[in-house]
Amino acid sequence: MSGHSKWANIKNKKAKMDAQKGKIYTRFSKLIIVAVREGGPDPNSNSKLKDVIEKAKQVNMPNENIERAIKRATGELSGADYEEIMYEGYGPSGVAILVDATTDNRNRTAGEMRHIFDKHGGNLGETGCVAWMFEKKGLIIIEKDDSTDVEEIMMLAIDAGAEDVDEQEDSIEVTTSVENFAAVKDAFEKNGIKIFSADLTYIPKTTLSLSESECEKVERLIEALEDHDDVQNVYTNYEPAE
């Protein structure tokens, strides 16, 4: 898989999530509402909802919050009507950026996205302006330690339909197609392989190498975007300086 290791980035993001519980619970509530309205309130028949609830529980979101979000989605409780939308733009040094958001007012959120991009030396673009630079893939990350059987993990991944297995110093990164993501994840879980993170993500087809000072500017923009209440994920195509 081209590009740098995702391990450090995802570890840092998880640490940040742990420090912002209230905001994270709100974001998961929005995702639950969208998932229920797309596929119904039963996680056994709605794989998207099942995945969101699983991730919400990983950050210790209380069951009552999860149930409340489901009831809002079904109309048992009043609440906003959310939709998922992808914003696209360019950051400093021409870095391509995809912003995955969940909003109840796309015009308001678009204006706020534009302001953040402008403030940090980027610009919000039209739909499709950078999406072609990315591929939607499944990305499963497994933390390595002295007991990790790398060969077993690689064989399980390949047999279950993974596209690529990349061994890093502290982790193993498994890339899958969207279609095979669930099967590979299930294979690990059934064989007792502890998964650090598993998500559908956008992986750049090629990466852009930047200097340390250029990286700092891009990272300030990414942090500002991630701090916005409507933003779920931010994807970029830059390569951090070594």
Domain residue ranges of the chain, discontinuous segments joined by +: 7-74
pTM of the model: 0.83
Say whether domain 7-74 belongs to CATH 1.10.10.200.
yes
Tell me which of 10-14, 43-47, 123-127, 128-132 is least confident.
10-14
Write out pLDDT tens, residues 33-46: 999 999 999 999 99
Of residues 132 and 14, which shows the higher confidence score?
132
Q: How far apart are CA 27 and CA 201, in angstroms?
A: 17
What integer pLDDT is reported at residue 237 of this predicted model?
Answer: 94
What integer pLDDT is reported at residue 2 of this predicted model?
Answer: 36
Task: Give the contacts of 198 (CB within 8 A, at least 6 positions apart).
Answer: 138, 139, 140, 141, 181, 185
Q: How far apart are CA 115 and CA 89, in angstroms?
A: 12
Residue whose C-alpha is closest to residue 225's, from 67, 108, 91: 91
What integer pLDDT is reported at residue 97 of this predicted model?
Answer: 97
- Six-digit token pair at 57? 């529980």
Task: Decide if pLDDT at 217 tops 60.
Answer: yes
Q: Are strands 134-143 and 171-176 parallel, antiparallel or unpaired?
A: antiparallel
Q: What are the residues facing 138 on neighbouring strands?
A: 176, 200
Task: Decide if pLDDT at 8 tops 90.
Answer: no
- Percentage, residues of the chain above pLDDT 70: 90
Q: If pLDDT is split at 50, 70 and 90, which confidence band does 9 have?
A: low
DSSP state of 192: T
Section 71-84 average pLDDT = 89
Strand residue runs (E) in the chain = 83-90, 96-103, 123-124, 134-143, 164-167, 171-176, 197-204, 208-209, 231-236, 238-239
- Six-digit token pair at 119? 């403030």
